[in-house]
Amino acid sequence: MSNLYRFGIAVDRELVDEFDIVAEESGYANRSEAIRDIMRNFVIEKKTQQKGMDVVGSFTMIYNHRKRISDKLTEYQHKHNEEIISTLHIHLTEECCLEILALRGKSENIKKIADSLLAQKGVMNGKLVLTAI
Amino acid sequence: MSNLYRFGIAVDRELVDEFDIVAEESGYANRSEAIRDIMRNFVIEKKTQQKGMDVVGSFTMIYNHRKRISDKLTEYQHKHNEEIISTLHIHLTEECCLEILALRGKSENIKKIADSLLAQKGVMNGKLVLTAI
Amino acid sequence: MSNLYRFGIAVDRELVDEFDIVAEESGYANRSEAIRDIMRNFVIEKKTQQKGMDVVGSFTMIYNHRKRISDKLTEYQHKHNEEIISTLHIHLTEECCLEILALRGKSENIKKIADSLLAQKGVMNGKLVLTAI
Amino acid sequence: MSNLYRFGIAVDRELVDEFDIVAEESGYANRSEAIRDIMRNFVIEKKTQQKGMDVVGSFTMIYNHRKRISDKLTEYQHKHNEEIISTLHIHLTEECCLEILALRGKSENIKKIADSLLAQKGVMNGKLVLTAI
């Protein structure tokens, strides 16, 4: 009890309203509980990505291959073939790709790879999932 | 400015301290900015998972195959071979597996699959990444 | 016994010599036995690929991505996303790729896909493995 | 011309008949040409698999997971996680799996892995494709 710390924050009202709705739908008792939980997850996630950690995980991205980025992505991935174990490519539609990279290495290298891929024009979405081993 | 809503929350002091450190390391100007950002991500993530949405994505898990769960996981995954496009398995060590499922379907079905896999004893970690299409 | 048919063939001497060596190393009692076996496999393989058969399998190829063929391969594969379930890409070296396609469909369509991929400049090797289901 | 070697072989008549049909369908001018070609492929294939060669490739198998062999296959594959880069699993039906292993290593080790997997009860089919690098 004595360990609790109380502080105030200012958030866009629209965001607060939306947050309250999805938090309730997700089974949280109240806003505070939900915020505590996402703060905790944020800390865990960022700690996993700290420099020097040995991590494994995946990077999931969606991209439009019509933008002719396959060559660039392939070339980039080959430069990092020590960290990228293999890549699973799903041909969703004639234009749209789901590409999932299986990754292993030092967290800072893995993060750099994910950031570089995300920065490519045409990559519409990208999410890194890491676990320390 | 007028749109900002101010409220107070109570959080474990240890968590706040850790949060402040990783938030600063991640480049956030202050705690409020970081919390706003993770609230926003939470809303986006949960909205993507709302019932009836057509989604694609991945589920990444780590498990210890020594616990003899491969059979159970395989059987379970086959029951859902409409949503699970394919599974990429990385043999990390003699005991440890990284398994990544490529998924496509209705968000509620995908979420159920992820939850069921996570609930399996031996599955040490599991993270769902979804995008609406 | 009465069912045996005897015939003669003319083969390059160098090939016969090499064949005899590898056949012996592979455990065949003699040249005739080895030839009978590879004739049998050829028949099975070709029958699996006959028109109208529902087949599953893989197409394994090696290519040099420096030749900028990733875009072409991706575009081609997306046009056939009904037959190509997913593609596993291994980044062997900075230049060299091992790409494995998981395939399902009518044998004639699958064969056409394999032939077209093989015909791409830069694809150094390609082997189709099919099973009727 | 002088380099040609002529010899006779005895083959089951039924097999010869079937062979002639599929050879013609495959575009071979005559039986001799077809046999020369499959002899040549056999030599190339076996040479690739010779001891000490560095090879990459795939092993494609079909199995019925109802026979509870997933645990055994996973355990076996983890013992060879140096050669097995990753495994792509396609959930064909509720019972039937297509599993494709991406492989890299010494040819004799790769062959041993393929043979051991094929010997597992429940594995209905298995084909190794290798290329020397």
Q: What is the pLDDT of residue C69?
A: 85
Q: Which chains touch D (3 or more CB pairs under 8 A)?
A: A, B, C
pLDDT for B2 beyond 60: no
Residue of A nearest to C78 (CA): A94
**Residues in chain A, pLDDT under 50:** 1
Tell me how many degrees the CA angle C98-A84-A76 measures, rounded to the nearest 5. Answer: 80
Tokens (6 digits) for C62: 């090696």
| Whether the Cβ atoms of residue B57 and residue B110 lie closer than 8 Å to each other | yes
The pLDDT tens digits for B27-43 are 899 999 999 999 999 99
Percent of chain C with pLDDT strictly greater than 90? 62
Q: What is the pLDDT of residue A121?
A: 84
Q: What is the pLDDT of residue A114?
A: 93
The pLDDT tens digits for B84-101 are 999 999 998 888 899 999
Kindly report the nearest CA distance between residue C23 and chain D, in angstroms: 8
Considering only CB atoms, which chain A residues are within 8 Å of D88? Answer: 88
Residues 6+ apart with CB under 8 A from D90: B86, B87, C56, C85, C86, C102, C104, D97, D98, D99, D100
The interface predicted TM-score of the complex, written ipTM, equals 0.84
Q: What is the pLDDT of residue C67?
A: 79
Residue B96: which of D81, D59, A109 has the closest Cα? D81
The pLDDT tens digits for C111-120 are 999 999 988 8
The confidence band for C2, taking pLDDT boundaries of 50, 70 and 90, is low
Q: What is the pLDDT of residue C103?
A: 95
CB contact under 8 A, B85 and C86: yes
SS3 (DSSP) at B2: coil
Size of interface A-B (CB pairs under 8 A): 166
Q: What is the pLDDT of residue C1?
A: 47
pLDDT for B1 beyond 70: no
| Whether the Cβ atoms of residue B16 and residue A42 lie closer than 8 Å to each other | no
Cα–Cα distance, D93 to B110 (Å, whole number): 18
**Residue-wise pLDDT tens for chain D (133 aa)?**
458 999 999 999 999 999 999 999 888 999 999 999 999 999 988 888 888 999 999 999 999 888 788 888 998 899 998 999 999 999 988 888 999 999 999 999 999 999 999 888 888 889 999 998 8
CB contact under 8 A, B4 and A12: yes
Residue of D nearest to A89 (CA): D88
Q: What is the pLDDT of residue A1?
A: 47
Residue of B nearest to A10 (CA): B6
Q: What mean pLDDT, rounded, does chain B reach? A: 91
Q: What is the pLDDT of residue D1?
A: 47
For residue A49, the surrounding DSSP H or E stretch is none
Domain B54-132, second-level architecture: 2-Layer Sandwich (3.30)
Considering only CB atoms, which chain A residues are within 8 Å of C69? Answer: 71
Q: Which chains touch B (3 or more CB pairs under 8 A)?
A: A, C, D
